[in-house]
Amino acid sequence: MFTRRDAIKAGLACTALGSHLPAAFAAGSFQMKAYLADLDEILRIDSKTGYAEGVNRVGQVFRKRFESIGWTVTEYPCGKNGNGIVASNRKDQGKFDIILCGHLDTVQPVGNAKRYPLTIQGNFAHGAGVADDKGSLTALWWIVRDLPKALTDKLRICVMLAPGEEVGDNDHNKMIYDIGRRAKYALVYEPGRPNGAFVKVRKGCTWMALDFKGVAAHAGNNPQDGRNAIDAMARAITKVTALARDYKGLTTNTGTVKGGTAPNTVAADARVVFDMRFLRNEDRDSVLSRVRSMCEKGFADGVRTSLSLPSDLSAMPEIDSSRRLMAVVEKAASDLRQPKPEWLVVGGASDGNALAQSGVGVVDAMGVCGGNLHNPEKEFLDLRTVEPRISLGKRVLEVFAASL
Ligand SMILES: [Zn+2]
């Protein structure tokens, strides 16, 4: 394996990475060496979600890049996540024809940038966050850096780099909703699937927290005076999880439980949090209303139950505008003689869900293909898909502009 450290030891600049690439990557008009140097620049920066200092440093790299081609760049403060970047080829950022979205943050703990630097092994690049999402962030830059003037004259393009996708808290989503309202279409540059597939539907994800309030008592002296919150929770778990059977593609997972203080005490408090995934927002609403009425009725005598939603992300459904975008991607792929896109329905959420909640038609996983995401030792970026995904992104913009 040729590592950056080896390069330094050998007295080579980072761009010397290119000389160790398989022959196919070193040839042709696409400059893999320069792409890898751009990727390396941001891989060296730790940008774990919530580590605002690092997230902002990655943002500044892109700010400079976009400003170097004359784009307007606005920073969007998102609380403890740091700042998002909104870059556009027009001064007026009030309305866009299309949004290209990626994220600046990773799940990688601070220190992993040093521990897992960019390395190349055969057709694959490795490094902490190399696929999710830094390889695709870099591809986004390569897509827009030299677009023909005729295209940028016609299209109002927004590149939105979000600062806290991996957690997706309210401060983060506020930015996505706000920018999302300014467009009808969005391409999300999450990594392409290892087999090259794209994502057309993402399930929504709602966390349902049930809190139970009973009455404490001594388990030996006066158990009859107690009202056990854990017993109520146990009944609730079987009743709530049984609801999923009534909805196609809906799942619930009993994620965390806690309760009680000691074995010899009737538990006064308990809490369970379910993760619910759903294809249709109507199904989520229906489950929530059924759970709400269960809670009102109660699960055990003398135990009060309340429902709250620590997180609530709508589904990214297939709608007319997303179908139009899928057709654009298919036409672009066929123009480039790339394989016909395969469209997936997946359970994991992304910023595509929040964009969809703003009414935007979304196509996701447009980025460079990769896998073993979030595992710093095994995460990989498939270098054979870098140039094809960049060409596809450019061609999609052309086909989309022609269709306006
Ligand atoms: Zn991601």
Ligand 1 midpoint to CA 227 (Å): 45
Instruction: Return the domain boundaries, the chain.
Output: 2-202+315-402, 205-313
Ligand 1 midpoint to CA 330 (Å): 23
Ligand 1 midpoint to CA 189 (Å): 8
Average pLDDT (186-194) is 97
> Is residue 131 predicted with pLDDT exceeding 60?
yes
Ligand 1 midpoint to CA 132 (Å): 5
- Residue ranges near ligand 1 (ion) with Cβ within 5 Å: 132-133, 190
Query: How far apart are the C-alpha atoms of 89 and 385, rounded to whole Å?
Result: 26
Assess whether the previous peptide bond of 133 is cis (omega < 30° from 0): yes
Q: CA neighbours within 13 Å on the CB side: how many for 77?
A: 2
1 band by pLDDT with thresholds 50, 70 and 90: very low
Ligand 1 midpoint to CA 166 (Å): 7
Ligand 1 midpoint to CA 173 (Å): 14
Ligand 1 midpoint to CA 129 (Å): 9
Ligand 1 midpoint to CA 130 (Å): 10
* Helix, strand or coil, per DSSP, at residue 394: helix
Check the CA dihedral 150-152-156-157 and report its sign.
positive
Ligand 1 midpoint to CA 238 (Å): 33
Query: How far apart are the C-alpha atoms of 283 and 91, rounded to whole Å?
Result: 41
Pairing status of strand 124-126 against strand 380-382: antiparallel
> Is residue 24 predicted with pLDDT exceeding 80?
no
Ligand 1 midpoint to CA 108 (Å): 12
Query: How far apart are the C-alpha atoms of 172 and 377, rounded to whole Å?
Result: 28
How many Å is the maximal CA-CA distance in the chain? Answer: 84
Condensed to tens digits (0 to 9), the pLDDT of residues 291-329 reads 999 999 999 999 999 999 988 889 999 999 999 999 999
Ligand 1 midpoint to CA 346 (Å): 14
User: Which pLDDT score is estimated for 29?
Assistant: 54
Segment (H or E) for 230: helix 229-242
Q: What is the DSSP string of 9-38?
A: HTT--GGGGGGGS-HHHHSSSS-HHHHHHH
Give the CATH number of domain 205-313; options: 3.40.50.300, 3.30.70.360, 3.40.50.150, 3.30.1300.10.
3.30.70.360
Ligand 1 midpoint to CA 69 (Å): 26
Give the CATH number of domain 2-202+315-402; options: 3.30.300.20, 3.30.930.10, 3.40.630.10, 3.40.50.300.
3.40.630.10
Question: Whole-number mean pLDDT of the chain?
Answer: 93
Ligand 1 midpoint to CA 375 (Å): 13
Distance of CA 1 to the CA centre of its chain: 30
Ligand 1 midpoint to CA 373 (Å): 8
Query: How far apart are the C-alpha atoms of 231 and 223, rounded to whole Å?
Result: 13
What pTM, to 2 d.p., does this model score? Answer: 0.85
Average pLDDT (148-162) is 97
Ligand 1 midpoint to CA 261 (Å): 39
DSSP H helices in 108-207: 112-115, 136-144, 149-154, 170-180
Ligand 1 midpoint to CA 376 (Å): 14
Query: How far apart are the C-alpha atoms of 272 and 255, rounded to whole Å?
Result: 7
Ligand 1 midpoint to CA 134 (Å): 9
Condensed to tens digits (0 to 9), the pLDDT of residues 219-249 reads 999 999 999 999 999 999 999 999 999 999 9
Ligand 1 midpoint to CA 267 (Å): 40
Average pLDDT (151-168) is 96
CA angle in degrees (0–180, nearest 5) for 50-366-134? 35
Condensed to tens digits (0 to 9), the pLDDT of residues 45-65 reads 999 999 999 999 999 999 999
> Is residue 180 predicted with pLDDT exceeding 80?
yes
Ligand 1 midpoint to CA 360 (Å): 19
Ligand 1 midpoint to CA 295 (Å): 35
Ligand 1 midpoint to CA 76 (Å): 19
Condensed to tens digits (0 to 9), the pLDDT of residues 80-91 reads 999 999 999 999
User: Which pLDDT score is estimated for 13?
Assistant: 34
User: Which pLDDT score is estimated for 275?
Assistant: 96
Condensed to tens digits (0 to 9), the pLDDT of residues 355-376 reads 999 999 999 999 999 999 999 9
> Is residue 3 predicted with pLDDT exceeding 90?
no
Average pLDDT (156-163) is 98
Query: How far apart are the C-alpha atoms of 241 and 254, rounded to whole Å?
Result: 8
Average pLDDT (122-128) is 97
Contact 71, 65 (CB under 8 A): no
- Sorted by sequence, the CB contacts under 8 Å of residue 39 that are 6+ apart come out as 118, 125, 130, 134, 135, 138
Number of H helices, E strands in the chain: 13, 19
The pairs formed by 77-80 with CB atoms below 8 angstroms and a separation of 24 or more are: 78/162, 78/163, 78/164, 78/171, 78/172, 78/174, 78/175, 79/169, 79/171, 79/172, 80/50, 80/52, 80/171
Ligand 1 midpoint to CA 114 (Å): 20
Ligand 1 midpoint to CA 185 (Å): 19
By the 10 Å C-beta count (0-12 exposed, 13-18 middle, 19+ buried), 290 is classed as middle
Average pLDDT (320-347) is 97
> Is residue 6 predicted with pLDDT exceeding 70?
no
- Sorted by sequence, the CB contacts under 8 Å of residue 389 that are 6+ apart come out as 136, 139, 192, 366, 367, 368, 369
User: Which pLDDT score is estimated for 2?
Assistant: 40
Structure tokens at 247: 């909805």
> Is residue 69 predicted with pLDDT exceeding 50?
yes
Ligand 1 midpoint to CA 43 (Å): 14
Query: How far apart are the C-alpha atoms of 228 and 286, rounded to whole Å?
Result: 29
Condensed to tens digits (0 to 9), the pLDDT of residues 273-284 reads 999 999 999 999
* Percent of the chain that is helix, strand, coil (3-state, to 5): 40, 25, 35
Ligand 1 midpoint to CA 331 (Å): 26
Q: Which residue has the higher pLDDT, 53 or 10?
A: 53
* DSSP label of 133: I
User: Which pLDDT score is estimated for 9?
Assistant: 34
